[in-house]
A and B are shown apart, each in its own frame.
Chain A
Amino acid sequence: MPRPPSAVISLLPLDVIGGGERFTINACAAAIAAGHAVDLWAAARAHHPLAAQAARMTFEFRRLSCTPDAVTVVETVPLRELLRRQADYGLVHIHQHMANVAAIDILSAASPWQRVLLTSLGAEPVADLFAKAFEPHSGVGGVEISRYAAERSRAYGIPASHASAGIWADEIASPRSRSHPSAPLRVVAVGRLLPHKAFEVAIDATAGLEGRASLTIVGPSSGDVAYERYLRDRARRATNIQLAGYLPDGRRRRLLAEADVLVANSSHRFYCGKVVNQVELFGLVILEGLAEGLLPIASDIPSFREIAETLGLERWLYPERDHAALRGLLADAAAMHPDDRATIVSEAVGRMRTAYLWDDYWRRATGLEAAAGAGHVLARVA
């Protein structure tokens, strides 16, 4: 009997490619790579998270086709139509289920013979309301992107396990020689210019290492003008800091390939004093840096710690927002011979292959074994 197709439904649009969006598209690609028939649906735009039922039924969702080059729209239907078609799927995987109460509509429209998986990718404006409306049963469960995210889900009353992934096996660069031992340490920080990324910590840490290290911050604007101005002002105080802004894929990869260290500084406390309870559910950037052969140094937030512990990199964690501690780690890295750094990275990459590959993500997340003849990756987003 043929296995019914699955659906991945993102409650947020996939028109801007950030970590969450990449996770959704790669999850879909992982299913296709495992030989499963899967449809990718995403909200056509960011809908009002608390709209009334009648309005929600008119929310537009797009069925997308992923090719190696692009994500293209196949059709656009209102939510009501999507809910009717939902019955055709054996498994429905909702991404960003705490971004909109439409997730409850999808759960309500699920037949008893369907499995529904929930994955939060960080957008959680209706988390409390979702938790109040949610009724656990054996057909639904969270498959969060990290152990930390799963624990948070369980705190909301949602039974959850976790399946992490962040890199395709063939994206892991082969080991290569890095900078000369006496050359300054080349540090990169990657991400959209958002306050919770705390790029200013990296700036402050590197500013005290002039001559021994240089920092390049790569990432598109987030639209937060005040924060971007703050970063520019701070970066101007030192000569070894560069704000590269958005870089096309190729140039970004070249830059990473030439760097030595990647810093991930996310913090619960923002530059302006604001405090939030959750900033990162995972640490995709750490895995991407590692795949390029960079030594990752990260702030000690739960999700980054989880990755660091899995990869044996706990030594390279620093207390969040502690730029002096980060400076110390950067100085240590600068003092190491490149080959020693490469050894650390190489060991971490070995562990990453067993824990964080997209290639076997669908099996780990859904329990569905790969179909015969699977293994050919049809679509992915780097």
Chain B
Amino acid sequence: MKILFVSNIFPPHVVGGYELGCLMNAEAACRAGHDVRVVTSACFGTLAKKAFPNDLDVRQIFAPVYNYEFGDRSYKRPTDFSSAGGVHPGNCLALAAAIDAWRPDVIWMHNPLGIGPVGILETAVASGTPTVVHLMDALDDAIQLSQHGFELAGRWAAAKSRVHAIACSRSTLRRNRLLGDFRSATVIPSGIPLHELGPLAPRPAIAPAEPVRMVYFGQIKSHKGPQHVVAALGMLRRRMGLNVELHLVGSCDTGFAAELRALAAADGCESALHWHGAKDRPSLHALLDTMHLAVLPLNENEAFGYVAPEAALHGMCVAVGANAGCAEVFPRDYPYFLERRDDPTAIAKTVQRICTNHDERRHWERQLPGYVRAMCELDAVCMPRYLESLEAAIADRPPESVGGDLMRRSLAAWQMNDNLHRLLGDSVPDPQDKSRRLGRRIERAVRRLVHPTVRSRFRPLVGAFRTKKSA
């Protein structure tokens, strides 16, 4: 099968697990004996964190306008919105040319955000090539929020209805049904290549005289919840009298690192906080083998979260956010789900349970690797299912006219919007509109000033306020 793999950011450029997941999928498809060509963007900035994947056919054909590195702050020009939620004609033409030149059997689209997702999907469908969108992010959310100066959510929905989807979790699929639905959709958990993990060492036992080594790894960013783990660390040590250490592994910006240090210092547990920085995968796996348990309070916006199943494959008990996408690959009766992932008390109690209930912990340490492997092993489990979905898409080619004419319609429709902006002049959206970012600034300020334990007490009030407002 000739698979054209489309994704905005692809190694060597990496933001987080998403891009690594794309690389793993493309490599696994090659290992399964298929022709894979990756078309991605020529990224700029400091995202180039890995070596160029020379064993893959990677073509950097797209022009990225939206810069992932800076998030919302990267919106500088009106065209930035179009790349995040509209049409970028140059990228559409590049994709059309790539399809025309290689004539793939199927397009496997991962991340179209940042390269004009509506135009990219329309171009793929217009080419007549069966297309499967692999959902590892909430595309609908991002597209909906980027409708500034144009309104193409309907077009996105119309294009979606003509393609198939693979979602990495049920919650991700649900979040991608805000704007229309796909022609068909299936949920297949993100795959993890077991050969990268290497031989797994036996899990170290928790000895009474030694500190319990608790690990948090992955991106150290506020939305992933490490601050709640640091707050829980203080509780475990001061209130529950447990000798626990927290090991933080991953990259972290200096501002947030200072916040975490200040939080630990306020609880008097600075000495129990160990920073390991970003590690390559062999070093990470070696480090994980020395840990007793992992705490990963991922939130409901986490499409999957490779870290939790990776920790589980190491035979570690993981306290994991109950609503994160990866929670779906854990057994239903798994006792260490964090229902309130941003409540340090709940996290501390779960960790206490893991540390003190030895039989239960050992039981799950034995059970988890096999269970997660059966769900997430990339080459043996996930890739065959992915390929099955791609083949089903090929077999289900929609019976309608395709070709350059449809693409011409797509680009002409976009051009009219562009023309009107130019003619009216005054209706161009202001990308520097600070009010859009005000909410985030307030959130950051609150996080700095208010201790998580105090914040958690106000959660019911916040919930009530939200309900009232939405009602």
A interface residues with partner B (beta carbon < 8 Å): 50-57, 79-80, 83-88, 101, 104-105, 107-114, 129, 132-140
Contact = CB atoms under 8 A, between A and B. Distances in A.
B155 A109 contact: yes
Interface stretch (B128-136, B187-195, B413-421): B413-421
Interface stretch (B169-177, B213-221, B424-432): B424-432
Contacts of A101: 420, 424
Given A104-B417, A137-B412, A138-B409, A53 B427 contact: yes
Nearest to B426: A52
A9 to B, nearest CB: 13
Contacts of A114: 158
A57 B409 contact: no
B154 A112 contact: no
18 contacts: A50-B424, A53-B427, A53-B428, A55-B427, A79-B151, A84-B151, A84-B179, A88-B154, A107-B413, A109-B413, A112-B126, A112-B409, A113-B162, A132-B423, A135-B415, A137-B408, A137-B413, A138-B408
Given A104-B420, A112-B122, 15 more contacts: A53-B420, A53-B428, A54-B427, A79-B151, A83-B153, A87-B154, A87-B157, A105-B417, A112-B407, A113-B162, A129-B424, A135-B412, A135-B413, A137-B413, A138-B405
A105 B427 CA distance: 12
B400 interface: yes
B347 interface: no
A142 to B, nearest CB: 15
Interface in B174-209: 179-180
Contacts of B40: none
B17 interface: no
B350 interface: no
A361 B409 CA distance: 26
Contacts of B414: 108
CB-based closest 6 A-B pairs: A87-B154, A111-B158, A53-B427, A108-B417, A52-B427, A137-B412
B416 A133 contact: yes
A80 B429 CA distance: 15
Contacts of B415: 135
Nearest to B401: A113
Q: Which interface residue of A55, A104, A105, A108 has the most chain B CB atoms within 10 A? A: A108
Contact of A113 (B406, B408, B417, B423): B406
B421 A53 contact: yes
Contact of B416 (A86, A112, A135): A135
B375 to A, nearest CB: 35
A48 to B, nearest CB: 12
B453 to A, nearest CB: 42
Interface string B143-160: 000010111111101110
A140 B159 CA distance: 18
Given A54-B427, A112-B413, A80 B406 contact: no
Contacts of A111: 122, 154-155, 158-159, 410
A364 B419 CA distance: 32
A94 to B, nearest CB: 13
A276 B145 CA distance: 45
Given A54-B427, A133-B419, A112 B149 contact: no
Nearest to A129: B423
Given A52-B424, A83-B151, A105-B151, A136 B412 contact: yes
A223 to B, nearest CB: 29
B409 A84 contact: no
A110 B414 CA distance: 9
A47 to B, nearest CB: 14
B413 A83 contact: no
A314 to B, nearest CB: 40
A320 B443 CA distance: 71
B421 A108 contact: no
B417 A85 contact: no
Q: Which interface residue of B153, B155, B406, B420 has the most chain A CB atoms within 10 A? A: B420
Contacts of B122: 111-112
B419 A132 contact: yes
A109 B415 CA distance: 11
Contacts of A136: 412
A309 B151 CA distance: 45
A170 B310 CA distance: 75
B409 A139 contact: yes
Nearest to B151: A83
A57 B148 CA distance: 10
A87 B158 contact: yes
B420 A110 contact: no
A108 B154 contact: no
A79 B427 CA distance: 15
Given A109-B151, A109-B154, A113-B158, A54 B429 contact: yes
A134 B416 contact: yes
A92 B416 CA distance: 17
A84 B416 contact: no
B154 A135 contact: no
Nearest to A136: B412
Given A107-B416, A108-B417, A112-B126, A53 B155 contact: no
Contacts of B429: 53-54
Nearest to A53: B427
Given A54-B427, A54-B429, A138-B405, A109 B152 contact: yes
A219 to B, nearest CB: 37
Contacts of A108: 150-152, 413-414, 416-417, 420
Nearest to A80: B151
A127 to B, nearest CB: 13
A56 B409 CA distance: 23
Contacts of B147: 80
A50 B424 CA distance: 8
B260 to A, nearest CB: 40
Contacts of A133: 416, 419-420, 423
A136 B408 CA distance: 10
Nearest to A55: B427
A133 to B, nearest CB: 4
A104 B149 CA distance: 12
Contacts of A137: 405, 408-409, 412-413
B85 to A, nearest CB: 13
Interface in B386-416: 400, 405-410, 412-416
Contacts of B151: 57, 79-80, 83-84, 105, 108-109
A83 B154 contact: yes
A132 B424 CA distance: 11
A133 B413 CA distance: 10
A1 B428 CA distance: 41
B413 A110 contact: yes
Contacts of B409: 110, 112, 137-140
A102 B414 CA distance: 14
Contacts of A132: 419, 423
Contacts of A112: 122, 126, 406-407, 409-410, 413
A84 B178 CA distance: 12
Contacts of A139: 409, 413
A54 B159 CA distance: 25
Nearest to A52: B427
Q: Which interface residue of B155, B428, B429 has the most chain A CB atoms within 10 A? A: B155
A101 B419 CA distance: 11
Contacts of B408: 137-138
Contacts of B157: 84, 87
Nearest to A50: B424
A206 to B, nearest CB: 48
Nearest to B87: A108
Nearest to B162: A113
Interface string B317-352: 000000000000000000000000000000000000
